[in-house]
Amino acid sequence: MRRMVRLGLVVGVVVVGYFGANFVQVWRASRTDGARPADAIVVLGAAQYDGKPSPVLRARLDHAVDLYERGLAPLVAVTGGRRRGDRATEASAAAGYLIGEGVPQASLRLETSGENSWQSLAATARFLMAEGVEQVILVSSPYHALRTEHIADEVGLHGHASPVRNGPEHGVVEAVQMGREALAVGVGRVIGYRRLVNLDQRVEQVRTEVGAS
């Protein structure tokens, strides 16, 4: 019995230490700007309201405009599909905003089907690599930086995160998001990010079925 208790304590310490280390890495990545000359800037999608970017998405797009105007990449890829009830995709709303900020339409690439970061980056990787693009700057919220780099690597892109610096997510909201990201990164590193997405979808399906019963 004592051995089982000791083993349980050891396992608990290891698990807490592992996810604690992941949290520290997520935090460090959120404070590190990896922007450098690349082939394209990839903006991860966020909510849009009837074709207008939400504050979170707008902050990401403003940061992408700054990177583009600095001449760090000639292309900007925007991602994100249409959520239930939406008339516009996240990508189309983002593209409209960028054109309004002076980014030429010819410099834009749209990924309009992704429902999560993995799907969006995987689809983006396919059409960017078809154009010979592999080196990308990844633009998202700070807490999302490390996971986007890992997913980009998994789908074949060489990505460096450049997190938003003036976004609306601060304080408790950001801390909670970092905790979730630490968990996602910790599990994703073990089973792979594609499998993590599949696991999330299965859990959500079970919740839906339980709620409907």
pLDDT in tens, 44-82: 999 999 999 999 999 999 999 999 999 999 999 999 999
Nearest to 180 by CA among 10, 27, 17, 9: 27
Pairing of strands 108-111, 158-161: unpaired
Angle, alpha carbons 177-86-149 (nearest 5°): 35
Inter-axis angle of helices 2-30 and 171-191, to 10 degrees? 120
What structural domains does the chain harbor? Answer: 32-168 (3.40.50.620)
The reported pLDDT for the residue numbered 204 is 72
Q: How far apart are CA 143 and CA 164, in angstroms?
A: 10
Determine the average pLDDT of the residues in 187-212: 81
What is the value of pTM for the model shown?
0.90
The reported pLDDT for the residue numbered 2 is 73
136 Cβ neighbours under 8 A, 6+ residues apart: 38, 39, 40, 41, 42, 73, 77, 128, 152, 157, 158, 159, 160
pLDDT more than 90, % of the chain:
77
> Is the per-residue pLDDT at 211 higher than 70?
no
Q: What would the pLDDT profile of 1-29 be if each residue is shown by its tens digit?
A: 777 778 778 888 888 899 999 999 999 99
